[in-house]
Chains A and B, each alone.
Chain A
Amino acid sequence: MAETADRTAEVVVPKARAAAGAAPWLVNLERLILPAIVIAAVLAAWQFLPGWLGIPPYELPNLSGTLTGLQQDWSTIGTGLLLTIQDALAGFLLGNFLAILGATTFAYSRNMERAFYPVAILVQTIPIIVYVPLLAILFARVPGLDGNPNASAVVGVTVLITFFPTLVNMAVGFKTIDPRIYEFMVLLNASKTEIFLKLRFPSALPFLFSSLKITATLAFVGAVVGEWMTGSGINPVGQLLARVGMKSVLGFNTDPSNAAGVGGLLNLFYYQIDKPGLFASVVAISILSIAFFGAMVLLERVMVPWQQQR
Chain B
Amino acid sequence: MSFLALHDVSYTYPGVEGVEALRDITFEADENEFISVIGPSGCGKSTLLRLISDLLPVSGGRVTIDGKPSAEARRKRDIGFVFQEPALMPWRSALKNVRLPLEVLDRDDEAGKNTAVGLLDLVGLKGFETKRPDQLSGGMRQRVSIARALTYNPQLLLMDEPFGALDQITRDEMNQELLGIWTRKQSTVIFVTHSISEAIFLSDRVVVLSARPGTIVDIMPVSLPRPRSAEMKRTPEFIQMETRLLNALEGRPQHG
Interface of A toward B, CB cutoff 8 Å: 3-4, 7, 10-12, 14, 178, 180-181, 183-190, 194, 198-199, 202, 205, 304-307
Q: Which residues of B contact A186 (CB under 8 A)?
A: 55
A10 close to B139 (CB less than 8 A): yes
Q: Which residues of B contact A180 (CB under 8 A)?
A: 83, 85, 87
Q: Which residues of B contact A183 (CB under 8 A)?
A: 50, 55, 81, 83
Interface residues contributed by chain B, number (CB under 8 Å): 36
The verdict on A4 contacting B127 (CB below 8 Å), with A11-B136, A183-B81, A188-B77 known, is yes
Interface of B toward A, CB cutoff 8 Å: 50, 53, 55, 74-75, 77, 79, 81, 83, 85, 87-91, 100-101, 103-105, 124-128, 131-137, 139-140, 148, 152
Q: Which residues of B contact A184 (CB under 8 A)?
A: 81, 83, 87, 148
B135 close to A12 (CB less than 8 A): yes
B81 close to A11 (CB less than 8 A): no
CB distance from A3 to the nearest CB of B (A): 7
Extra A-B contacts (9), CB below 8 Å, given A11-B135, A12-B136, A202-B89 = A11-B131, A12-B135, A180-B87, A181-B87, A184-B87, A188-B77, A188-B101, A305-B132, A307-B90
A198 close to B103 (CB less than 8 A): yes
Cα separation A189 to B70 with both chains bound (whole Å):
13
Q: Which residues of A contact B77 (CB under 8 A)?
A: 187-189
B140 close to A189 (CB less than 8 A): no
Q: Which residues of A contact B105 (CB under 8 A)?
A: 188
Q: Which residues of B contact A11 (CB under 8 A)?
A: 128, 131, 135-137, 140
B55 close to A187 (CB less than 8 A): yes
CB distance from A19 to the nearest CB of B (A): 15
The verdict on A306 contacting B101 (CB below 8 Å), with A10-B137, A187-B74 known, is no
CB distance from B216 to the nearest CB of A (A): 25
A188 close to B104 (CB less than 8 A): yes
The verdict on A7 contacting B55 (CB below 8 Å), with A178-B87, A188-B77, A202-B91 known, is no
Cα separation A181 to B97 with both chains bound (whole Å):
11
CB distance from A310 to the nearest CB of B (A): 9
CB distance from B147 to the nearest CB of A (A): 13
B100 close to A198 (CB less than 8 A): yes
Q: Kindly report which residue of chain B lies nearest to residue A7, judged by CB atoms.
A: B124
Cα separation A305 to B137 with both chains bound (whole Å):
18
CB distance from A309 to the nearest CB of B (A): 12
CB distance from B207 to the nearest CB of A (A): 22
Cα separation A95 to B103 with both chains bound (whole Å):
33
The 7 closest A-B pairs by CB, nearest first: A180-B87, A10-B137, A306-B90, A180-B83, A188-B104, A190-B104, A202-B91
Q: Which residues of A contact B85 (CB under 8 A)?
A: 178, 180
Q: Which residues of A contact B125 (CB under 8 A)?
A: 7
CB distance from A75 to the nearest CB of B (A): 47
Q: Which residues of B contact A187 (CB under 8 A)?
A: 53, 55, 74, 77, 79, 81
A306 close to B104 (CB less than 8 A): no
CB distance from A140 to the nearest CB of B (A): 46
Q: Which residues of B contact A198 (CB under 8 A)?
A: 89, 100, 103-104
A selection of 7 A-B contacts at a CB cut-off of 8 Å is: A7-B128, A10-B137, A178-B89, A188-B101, A188-B152, A198-B103, A205-B91
B89 close to A185 (CB less than 8 A): no
Q: Which residues of A contact B128 (CB under 8 A)?
A: 7, 11
The verdict on A189 contacting B75 (CB below 8 Å), with A11-B136, A181-B87, A307-B90 known, is yes
Q: Which residues of B contact A189 (CB under 8 A)?
A: 74-75, 77, 104
A306 close to B55 (CB less than 8 A): no
Cα separation A11 to B152 with both chains bound (whole Å):
27
Most chain A C-beta atoms within 10 Å of own C-beta, residue among B124, B127, B131, B134: B134
The verdict on A199 contacting B89 (CB below 8 Å), with A194-B104, A306-B132 known, is yes
Cα separation A180 to B85 with both chains bound (whole Å):
8
CB distance from B201 to the nearest CB of A (A): 20
Q: Kindly report which residue of chain B lies nearest to residue A310, judged by CB atoms.
A: B134
Cα separation A4 to B136 with both chains bound (whole Å):
14
Q: Which residues of B contact A199 (CB under 8 A)?
A: 89
CB distance from B131 to the nearest CB of A (A): 8
CB distance from B171 to the nearest CB of A (A): 14
CB distance from A89 to the nearest CB of B (A): 27
Q: Kindly report which residue of chain A lies nearest to residue B140, judged by CB atoms.
A: A10
CB distance from B192 to the nearest CB of A (A): 14
